[in-house]
Amino acid sequence: MSATVFHAEVGVSDEKQAAAKSARRRFGALVVRLGAIAAFAAIMAYFVIFAPGFTSTFNLINVVEQSAILGVLAYGMTAVIIGGGSNVTEGGIDLSIAANMGLCAAVYATLLSMGYGDFLSVIAAIAVGMAVGALNAVAVVGLGILPLLATLAVLNVAAGMELTLTQNTVVGASSPLLGLLVSGSFLGISALAWALIVFSAIMIVVVHGTSFGLRLYAVGGHPEAARAAGISVPFYVSFTYVLSGFCAAVASILTVSRLSASTPGSGELLLSVLAAALLGTVFSRRFVPTMGGTLLSVLFIGLLANGFQLLNVSSYWVNGVQGALILLVVAITSFARGSEGSR
């Protein structure tokens, strides 16, 4: 029976090791999560104490409004990262999302200025956004190009088309819908803030409450397992890119309303969008991007920019801080996930 004895011995030590390993990993993950939350809290506390007017209702509502555009874009990015997996090099990412928003804004503002009504212009902007998303999907899913490269290429396509359309000028726009978004309010909350609230609610319910969302996580977490469970991986991945394009179009309408125009330079938002989507993972016990985590990160980034303004720190610093945050989050999550790969 010596054979059976080996069986048990090797197995037991393996089990113990695995248990110890997973306990260590859980502890490490907890430390990272609590550390991140503590750092956020410390920064907020600093602003509360030292930034004049930081806690005023007016200021906070202002931050939420400012965050609406970033939030809508970050949800698109988050969906792409969920469905493509959060592997930094091969996973899902949509670098074209901000440029796509710029293109949609240009289409929307140009059509409005040419006299087409809100209805047609909005439809056209959304169609263009989703078409750019579909182009990403074709490149990533159809042609099998790394998302990092594919969406980088599409970024340039979208940016080029925007420049062609606007000749790099500001295209002024006004319409009933834009007027409503700018000055409308309900229950004392402005239309822009409502846009963020409603969009957030929809995203959170769809991604975290439905079987669709569960399968999306499975597709990103372990495509083989998803396939074995009868889930069409290409469909889900393609969907995220098209959704991301849709988010870009919705954000474009919000941005046109805020600036009463389509303006060049929307691409600069990309860094913030990426920071928000990646930062959100530290709020998740599974270290995956979540819609709730993204919302918190969006508000954090908004408050950070706002606090810097109130403290009279140059807004250029915000970019640097965001870049550093991305590096930090990617480094920490890669480290925390490290042991998974070797199993």
Nearer to another protein, 172 or 234 (CB): 234
Query: Contact with another protein (CB under 8 A): which of 47, 241, 287, 300?
Result: 287
Q: Contact between 229 and another protein (CB under 8 A)?
A: yes
Residues 113-172 within binding reach of another protein (CB under 8 A)? none
Q: What angle do CA 327, 331, 336 make, to 5 degrees?
A: 150
Least Cα distance to 283 among 226, 333, 240 occurs for 333
Separation of alpha carbons 277 and 98, rounded Å: 13
Q: Interface residues for another protein in 176-215 (CB under 8 A)?
A: 205, 209-215
* Antiparallel, parallel or unpaired: β 171-172 and 261-262: antiparallel
Task: Give the nearest distance from C-beta 7 to another protein in angstroms.
Answer: 5
Q: Which of 148, 153, 231, 311 binds another protein (CB under 8 A)?
A: 231
Nearer to another protein by Cβ, of 14 and 90: the residue is 14
Q: Which two tokens stand for residue 10?
A: 């090797």
Closest separation in Å from C-beta 79 to another protein: 16
CA distance 82 to 283: 14
Check if the beta carbon of residue 256 is closer than 8 Å to that of residue 106.
Answer: no
Options 230, 265, 312, 316; binder of another protein; rule CB under 8 A: 230
Site for another protein in 246-285 (CB under 8 A): 285
Using CB under 8 A as the binding rule, whether residue 222 contacts another protein is answered as: yes
- SS3 call for 87: coil
* CB of 278 vs another protein, minimal distance in Å: 16
CA angle (312 as vertex; 307, 318 as ends), nearest 5:
55
Q: Quick check: 27 binds another protein (CB under 8 A)?
A: no
Structure tokens at 215: 């399968």
- 26 touches another protein (CB under 8 A): yes
Binding residue for another protein, selected from 25, 165, 234, 311, defined by CB under 8 A: 25
CB of 31 to another protein, least distance (A): 16
Q: How far apart are CA 49 and CA 46, in angstroms?
A: 5
The residue written with tokens 């469905």 in the block is: 83
Which residues within the stretch 304-343 sit at the binding site for another protein (CB under 8 A)? Answer: 340, 343
Give every CB contact of residue 107 below 8 A, 6+ residues apart in sequence.
Answer: 121, 124, 125, 128, 165, 252
Q: Does 33 bind another protein (CB under 8 A)?
A: no
Taking the least distance from each CB to another protein, the nearer of 4 and 312 is 4
Determine if 227 is a binding residue for another protein (CB under 8 A): yes
d(CA 8, CA 130): 56
Indicate whether 54 belongs to the interface with another protein (CB under 8 A).
no
Can you say whether residue 184 is alpha, beta or left, with left for phi > 0 and alpha for psi between -120 and 50 degrees?
beta
| Sign of the alpha-carbon torsion through 321, 325, 328, 330 | negative
Rounded to the nearest whole angstrom, what is the least distance from the CB of residue 32 to another protein in the complex?
A: 15
Instruction: Look up residue 186 and give its amino acid.
Output: F
211 or 312: whose CB is closer to another protein? Answer: 211
Stretch that binds another protein, among 160-168, 193-201, 248-256, 286-294 (CB under 8 A): 286-294
Q: Least separation, in Å, of the C-beta of 212 and another protein?
A: 6
Q: Cα(55)–Cα(333) distance, rounded to whole angstroms?
A: 32
**Residue 218: partners with Cβ closer than 8 Å, 6 or more residues away:** 225, 226, 229, 231
> 195 with 254: CB under 8 angstroms?
yes
Q: Report the residue from 41, 170, 180, 286 that binds another protein according to the rule CB under 8 A.
A: 286
Q: Does 38 bind another protein (CB under 8 A)?
A: no
Which C-beta is closer to another protein: that of 15 or that of 268? 15
What residues line the site for another protein (CB under 8 A)? Answer: 2-4, 6-8, 10-15, 17-19, 22, 25-26, 205, 209-215, 217-218, 221-222, 224-231, 285-288, 340, 343
